[in-house]
């Protein structure tokens, strides 16, 4: 008979399983304790915040409404909404409603009117007035133009609109456009009788420029006096417009021509044409001298500048 052999196997539990199980149990208990503590702490903080009755802010302007709610410790937000009866910028409601008990730090929204529901005014500032009117007309709006002078903005450019861009306006409403007319007109100062230097300063201070200056000789007045201006004093003209002036000048002068070598008759013609008076003296020369009948010398050298009508003495050779 064959003997049955039985093999014995020793079962040994791994050494890491027990510590791991203990660690899991400890962590689970720790998390439970922490959650319980947080719940108790949060409940304590929540139960410790005071509760305030939310006041009504309807009919107040938005700044006053914000200030009143902020002073009570609420976080305030503003929501702009159209309203047909409440003026723009005035509160007409709130969320939550008045009388609700809230905790400090809760958010309250103020409902503020931005005017009646209608068409939003487009932005036209900076456009030429014709283009702005086309843009408004495309939205079914009319335009009323008010012209004002401005030193910097070019003429015809829209400076502002009322209502402004983004505001609502009733259908078929009218938008008032403030349009630049360019610089204000300048007044020509009184310059007649003043000296030229003072006149130049006055023209610059008036925002005008100096135009052509014409000089006229008047023996009864000193040089440099303003006799006339164009435009005349008191005229309203555009900024930087030139002002022409007529000013007294010195006696007019002419250049003396060279008469030497000319026949006496020719010399007299040249003198008359150049506005000088010829005084002839004679010098006898022998018969047959080639200079007979001609100017042999002159008292004022050629190209000298003399007054109009000045006398120039010349010497003419005659038979001796």
pLDDT per residue as tens digits for the range 42-67: 444 445 567 889 999 999 999 999 99
Q: Mean pLDDT across the stretch 243-272?
A: 95
pLDDT tens readout for residues 103-141: 988 999 999 998 777 888 999 999 999 999 999 999 999
Alpha-carbon span 38 to 131, nearest angstrom: 66
Q: What is the pLDDT of residue 275?
A: 95
Averaged confidence pLDDT in the chain: 88
Q: Which two tokens stand for residue 306?
A: 């003399």
Distance CA 146, CA 92 (A): 34
Q: Nearest Cα to 100, choosing from 111, 91, 109, 89?
A: 109
Question: CATH says 51-113 is which class?
Answer: alpha beta
| 241's tokens | 């417009």
pLDDT of residue 82: 85
Assess if CATH 3.30.10.20 describes domain 119-180.
yes
Tell me the average pLDDT across 2-9. Answer: 47
Residue 39's pLDDT is what?
Answer: 60
Higher-pLDDT residue of 107, 19: 107
Give kind and range of the element (H or E) at residue 129: helix 129-138
What's the confidence (pLDDT) of residue 13?
47
CATH topology of domain 186-249: Trypsin Inhibitor V; Chain A (3.30.10)
Report, at the CATH architecture level, how domain 253-319 is classified: 2-Layer Sandwich (3.30)
H or E stretch covering 25: helix 17-48
Residue position matching structure tokens 């929540």: 46
The whole-angstrom separation of Cα 200 and Cα 193 is 13
Query: Biggest alpha carbon distance in the chain?
Result: 199
* Residue 22 scores a pLDDT above 70: no
Instruction: Return the domain boundaries, the chain.
Output: 51-113, 119-180, 186-249, 253-319
Pairwise pLDDT comparison (242 vs 172), residue with the higher score: 242
Tokens of 84: 């047909």
Q: With 80 as the cut, is the pLDDT of residue 307 above it?
A: yes
Q: Do domains 186-249 and 253-319 have the same CATH topology?
A: yes
Scanning the structure block, which residue is given the tokens 């068409």? 119
Question: Where does the pLDDT of residue 169 fall: very low under 50, low under 70, confident under 90, or very high at 90 and above?
Answer: confident
Please tell me the pTM assigned to this model.
0.49
């Amino acid at each position: 008979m064959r003997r049955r052999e039985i093999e014995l196997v020793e079962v040994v539990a791994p050494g890491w399983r027990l510590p791991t199980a203990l660690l899991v149990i400890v962590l689970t208990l720790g998390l439970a304790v922490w959650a319980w503590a947080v719940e108790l702490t949060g409940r304590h903080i929540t139960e410790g915040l005071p509760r305030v009755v939310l006041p009504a802010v309807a009919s107040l302007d938005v700044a006053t409404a914000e200030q009143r709610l902020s002073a009570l410790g609420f976080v305030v937000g503003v929501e702009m909404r159209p309203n047909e009866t409440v003026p723009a910028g005035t509160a007409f409601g709130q969320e939550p409603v008045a009388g609700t008990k809230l905790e400090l730090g809760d958010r309250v929204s103020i409902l503020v009117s931005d005017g009646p529901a209608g068409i939003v005014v487009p932005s036209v500032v900076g456009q030429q007035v014709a283009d702005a009117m086309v843009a408004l007309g495309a939205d079914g709006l009319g335009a009323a133009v008010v012209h004002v002078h401005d030193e910097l903005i070019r003429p015809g450019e829209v400076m502002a609109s009322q209502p402004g861009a983004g505001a609502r306006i009733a259908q078929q409403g009218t938008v008032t456009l403030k349009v630049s007319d360019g610089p204000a007109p300048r007044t020509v100062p009184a310059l007649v009788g003043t000296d030229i230097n003072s006149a130049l300063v006055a023209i610059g201070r008036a925002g005008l420029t100096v135009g052509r200056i014409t000089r006229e000789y008047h023996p009864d007045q000193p040089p440099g006096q303003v006799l006339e201006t164009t435009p005349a004093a008191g005229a309203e003209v555009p900024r930087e417009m030139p002002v022409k002036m007529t000013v007294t000048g010195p006696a007019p002068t002419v250049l003396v021509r060279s008469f030497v070598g000319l026949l006496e008759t020719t010399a007299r013609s040249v003198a008359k044409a150049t506005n000088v008076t010829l005084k002839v003296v004679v010098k006898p020369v022998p018969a047959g001298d080639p200079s007979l009948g001609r100017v042999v010398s002159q008292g004022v050298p050629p190209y000298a500048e003399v007054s109009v009508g000045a006398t120039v003495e010349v010497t003419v050779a005659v038979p001796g």
